[in-house]
Amino acid sequence: MPEQPMIQTERLVLRPLTLTDVDALYAVYSDSVTMRFWHTPPHATPADTRTMVTQMLHEEACWWTICVGEAQVGVGNVGYLGNVGAPGMGYILRAQDWRQAAPRAGDLWYPSELRSGHQDLLPCI
């Protein structure tokens, strides 16, 4: 996979997922409301989140951290599910940001960079 670029919209920033996001994402993945519809229980420790992020950062990975605000605090993540048989997109957003900083469908799934000709991003999205 090509290196993912940072993508900025009017309301959020998508930056490539890194292990430095573990603490912010632990707040997401340990929240029982956020995890209510997730396929695993809430994370019990930051080590659970570190294990998950490490697994997400494999060679074929294409994941971003969803950031809001000036500090670009991670409030979720979005990425390409490149698994064989059922490719698609996946995302999670911290419950306290639902209906507040939530991306509009066009922001997340078809950012302006693609609309303006950056077709080189398509392998990552």
pLDDT per residue as tens digits for the range 99-114: 764 455 445 444 444 4
Give which of 70, 68, 67 is closest to 17, Cα–Cα: 67
pLDDT per residue as tens digits for the range 11-67: 789 999 999 999 999 999 999 999 998 889 999 999 999 999 999 888 777 899 999
The whole-model pTM stands at 0.73
Q: How far is CA 24 from CA 5, 36, 76, 86, 117, in A?
A: 20, 18, 8, 28, 32
Q: Where are the domains of the chain?
A: 7-109
Domain 7-109 of CATH type 3.40.50.300: no
